[in-house]
Amino acid sequence: MQKQLVVIIGGPGTGKTTIIEELKKRGHCCYGEISRDITLEAKKQGIDQLFLENPMLFSELLLNARKEQHLKASAEAEEFVFLDRGIPDVLAYMHYIGDPYPSFFDEACTQHPYGKIFILPPWEDIYESDEARYENFEQATLIHNHIKETYEKYGYELIEVPKADTNSRIMFILDLLSK
């Protein structure tokens, strides 16, 4: 049995967390989104939007956390381990805001490979903003495009998950993984 790290990607508000939470309920090994934790921790320290106020610090914290998550996920016994976003997402957000970053960001992407990548398209009908998601739908769509381009730059084949109810999306993912 070869382990596969399966990443669910897409712009903000596309249903990634919903899918991860439902996979978890069904007994699958899943790792959730880390950026919310970093954002909420910064708020506790009086920084309203760390990503906007200090994007490099935020991105370095996120990169380190995602590398650690990759290591833990790789050590799991299950055949498939699902992750809500991956390391290339960090670079995609840096591309989105137009900030340069040190080469170790790029190296992290090549040194921590993933198996399958499922991408959720922008979907205005389900999009919602909240205290940790400040982007509007148009910005979320631009971020989605940067995420897509970044993963493709690292040679990943992206599998688009259709817009459908959560169960149908999960069945689409699981069916493809079983082939």
Residue 164 lies in a domain: yes
Residue 50 lies in a domain: no
Residue 93 lies in a domain: yes
Task: Find the Cα–Cα–Cα–Cα dihedral 58, 59, 65, 70, rounded to 10°.
Answer: 160
Residue 84 lies in a domain: yes
Residue 38 lies in a domain: no
Q: Report the 10 Å Cβ neighbour count for 10.
A: 25
- Specify the CATH number for the domain of residue 25: 3.40.50.300
Going residue by residue through the chain, which has 179 residues, state the pLDDT in tens, using 9 for 90 and above. Answer: 567 999 999 998 899 999 999 999 999 999 999 987 888 888 888 877 777 788 898 899 999 999 999 999 999 999 999 999 999 999 999 999 898 899 999 999 999 999 999 999 999 888 777 665 667 889 889 999 999 999 999 999 999 999 999 999 999 999 999 98
User: What is the pTM assigned to this prediction?
Assistant: 0.92
Domain count, the chain: 1
Q: Is 116 helix (H, G, I), strand (E, B) or coil?
A: strand
Q: How far apart are CA 42 and CA 84, in angstroms?
A: 20
Domain of residue 155: give its range. 4-33+65-177
Residue 53 lies in a domain: no
